[in-house]
Amino acid sequence: MLTLRTKLALAVLHDIQYKDYQLSTSLNPSPSEVTYLLQKLSKGRLIALIENRPDNQSDSRPESYRLACAYHQINLLSILEALGEGVYFNRPSDEKFYSCYGTTARKLGIVNQMTRLYLMEISIAELPVSECLIENSIPHI
């Protein structure tokens, strides 16, 4: 349901919170991807640079940041919005999905199913496709 980039952002936020920088590095991200995520999360006001950090500490490392609010106050929507990411829907019976997301699988499963139902009710005939193609901008939901 979540992209690899979103999963990496979750790992980076976890690492910043617990000052244990192993979870995000275990995903083997490229340095440029980590830098990109840190910039996006910072711009989204989820993290902030640590003040008075050593001069040799780079802005492109999670160790240079702190959470901008309490860890439990950061929600999935704010992360998705900060990254400009979306949610990709799974088949309702996907057991791998439930094993990956643990206790949150139920909530994500309900969101997944409800969104799928609402999207099935939108006919392609109702969408102003020609206008969207001309403007080259489809609004994000």
* 133 vs 27, higher pLDDT: 27
- Chain segment 51-104, per-residue pLDDT in tens: 887 766 678 899 999 999 999 899 888 898 899 987 777 666 667 767 777 778
- Chain segment 7-36, per-residue pLDDT in tens: 899 889 999 999 988 888 888 899 999 999
DSSP, res 126: G
Q: Which helix (H) or strand (E) holds 48?
A: strand 47-49
The answer to whether residues 87 and 1 touch, using CB atoms and an 8 Å cutoff, is yes
Structure tokens at 43: 């711009």
CB burial string 114-127: b at 16+ within 10 A, e below = eeeeeeeeeeeeee
Structure tokens at 90: 């799974």
> Which amino acid is it at 58?
S
- Chain segment 103-129, per-residue pLDDT in tens: 787 787 788 788 878 867 766 556 554
Its pTM surpasses 0.75: no
Structure tokens at 17: 């919170």
Structure-token match 């199913």, residue found: 113
